[in-house]
Amino acid sequence: MHALLDLRHLPPPEPMQRILDALDELPPGACLHALTPHRPGPLLPMLEQQGYAWRLDDLDEGGARIAVCWLQDAAVLPAEPPRS
């Protein structure tokens, strides 16, 4: 499972909340990808505290793309930024 959420059109803090809601249902071995209007700085320590690994890449057009998975599944994180 590689879900993609395009949250670039949402005002803060809605992108962060939608990511957290989607992670509630993330099965082992899966990776969630989200496009956000800004770098989700406040989200990153929350992810680590809850046992997730993540990769964050800035988008050329602004905003960011974050990939999130369970810490034990960190190998499923993309080695390079995925192309949309």
Q: For 2-76, which CATH class?
A: alpha beta
In the prediction, which pLDDT does 78 show?
Answer: 82
* Average pLDDT of the residues in 61-71: 95
Where residue 81 falls among pLDDT bands split at 50, 70, 90?
Answer: low
Please, what is the average pLDDT of the chain?
Answer: 91
Contact of 6 with 35, CB cutoff 8 Å: yes
In the prediction, which pLDDT does 79 show?
Answer: 81
- Of the chain, the percentage scoring pLDDT greater than 90 comes to 86
**pTM for this one?**
0.89
In the prediction, which pLDDT does 82 show?
Answer: 52
Q: Is 19 helix (H, G, I), strand (E, B) or coil?
A: helix
